[in-house]
Amino acid sequence: MSIRLFGNAGIFLGANIVNAGIPFLLLPFLTRALTPADYGVVAMFGVMVSLFGTLTGLSVHGAIGVRYFELEKAALARYVGACVGILFVSTAVVLSLVGIFGKWLVDPSNLPFEWLLVAVLVSGFQFLINIKLTLWQVGGAAKQYGVFQVSQGLLNAGLSLLFIFGFLMTWEGRVLGQVVATAAFGGLALCWLFLSKEISRPRAEERQIADALQFGVPLIPHVIGGLVMVVADRFIIGNMLGVQAVGIYTLALQFGMIMGLVADAFVKVYGPWLYAKLKLDTSDARLEVVGVTYIVWLAFLVLAIVASIFCQLFFLDVVGEDFAAAQSIIFWFFLGQTFKGMYLSVAGFFFFSSRTSSVSLVTVCTGVFSIVATMAFVKLFGLKGAAMAYALSEGLLFLFAWLLSMRIHKMPWFEVVLSLSLVAKRGFAK
């Protein structure tokens, strides 16, 4: 991997850290202005946005990152147009369904009916943002990616503070800040796509819509399965322990997402590099992929331990006594996010091989396990049990995906010394 690759990784990581650091800077204010129950409602709104997001767009934006390396510029613009068209239709369908059946989601989600409708629209705007960010990511435009992402986070935070402290709103203020910022930057992303000529009308004879759906639809079970591991715990905790426990659990999870930021920044750079190496289809390229992957796994584990110790030292100074119960479960989220990063490092093999149905099988099975484990562990150990189940589920997701990837794409995983030696020998050579 070249110096430029690591430079982009640094920018991606820096942007992710700054973007996630903004909510962390808000924590001393939010945890003193909002009760754990308020924080739980805010968390449930985010959960519903994520759930609706599996259907608005049908996960086709992931296809853009793959087709970027296969299509010339004009054809790629038509492909993006096809994906945006799918987004508009699917969002309208989901919005109609929630309008009809949403009243049955009010009690489980702890959200008013009108906010469920808003969550659908937010998920659609987020899809537009993801398309533009994907194009910047695969194109190596790390600076534009970082500025756009951080600007959205700053607007979100600024509006949230204004609504909470200026207009004396509670959880609605925090949610409204997210809604306005996402809608504004979703619209900006769409305008940017038009102005940069990265979107145009698709052609029926090129079958871009069918290709995007063929890529994205099989991923829906994968996305839902992954979300089940992330959001089902909030539903279970809310029903078994109350919405206040959801707030405490979510706060601890937010701290654990520090590792998620590192993993996300890594994958944004590692993904395109991995596809390029696999396309070479040489023994040295495969060895280099394995060596780099092992090094990254080790780095993830070390970072998780260091971050956990650091957070334990300063936790109460940041969040206050009302959320003190979250301190005892933070470690499990750092561990779970470490496994998540390790899983993402092998998920690329499924996407490169277009075997998205295989990765869906893994996440659905692990999602089912996560639900059962969370219910059992919460009954046995309370809130700590939910955190333990989260870490265990993420660990199984990584293990199963890694084992299955060995069947999908043959790699020299057992040539540990040889692969590490090759990486050490090449160093930062291009």
Residues 340 and 388 in one domain: yes
* pLDDT score recorded for residue 234: 83
Domain end point (choices 217, 250, 284) = 217
**Quick one: which of 151, 134, 145 has its CA closest to 68?**
134
pLDDT for position 195: 94
As a three-state string, the secondary structure of 224-260 is HHHHHHHHHHHHHHHHHCCHHHHHHHHHHHHHHHHHH
Same domain, 57 and 166: yes
Contacts with 366 (C-beta within 8 Å, 6 or more apart), sequence order: 225, 229, 393, 396, 397, 400
Range list of β-strands (E), 374-426? none
Helix (H, G, I), strand (E, B) or coil at 57: coil
Task: Indicate the number of domains in the chain.
Answer: 2
So what's the pLDDT on residue 422? 85
DSSP 8-state class, residue 427: T
Angle formed at CA 269 by CA 421 and CA 19, multiple of 5 degrees: 130
Closest by Cα among 340, 317, 318, 325 to 386:
325
Identify whether 11 is part of a domain.
Answer: yes
Place of tokens 């479960």: 329
Burial of 96 per CB tally in 10 Å (0-12, 13-18, 19+):
exposed
238 and 134 both lie in a single domain: no
Same domain, 194 and 316: no
Q: Are 182 and 226 contained in the same domain?
A: no
Of the candidates 192, 180, 132, the residue with the CA atom closest to the CA atom of residue 156:
180
Give the pLDDT means over successive 10-residue stretches in the chain (430 positions).
56 72 79 84 88 82 79 89 92 94 86 94 94 86 87 93 91 94 96 93 81 76 66 83 86 82 74 80 86 88 86 76 84 91 83 65 82 93 93 92 85 88 68
Domain shared by 180 and 250, yes or no:
no
Q: What range does the domain containing 75 cover?
A: 1-217
Whether residue 397 contacts residue 416, with contact meaning beta carbons closer than 8 Å, is answered with: no
Based on the fold, state whether residues 183 and 331 are members of the same structural domain.
Answer: no
* Residue 75 burial by Cβ neighbours in a 10 Å radius (0-12, 13-18, 19+): middle
Residue 55 lies in a domain: yes
Instruction: Say whether both 271 and 203 belong to one domain.
Output: no
State whether 192 and 249 are in the same domain: no
Question: What pLDDT is stored for residue 336 in this prediction?
Answer: 92
Q: Is 350 in the same domain as 405?
A: yes
In the prediction, which pLDDT does 1 show? 47
Do both 32 and 50 map to the same domain?
yes
pLDDT of residue 289: 86
Report CA 47 to chain centroid distance, whole Å.
12
> What is the Cα–Cα distance from 63 to 180, expressed in whole angstroms?
28
Whether residue 110 is contained in a domain is answered as yes
* Residue 429 lies inside a defined structural domain of this protein: no
- For 295-330, the DSSP string reads HHHHHHHHHHHHHHHHHHHHHHHHH-GGGGGGGGGH
Query: What is the tens place of the pLDDT at every residue in 41-93?
Result: 998 898 889 889 888 877 777 788 878 878 888 999 999 999 999 999 999 99
Q: What is the pLDDT of residue 428?
A: 42
- 196, 223: one domain: no
The domain boundary residue, chosen from 164, 199, 217: 217
Of 217, 243, 276, the domain-final residue:
217
- Considering the domain boundaries, does residue 102 fall inside one? yes
pLDDT of residue 264: 74
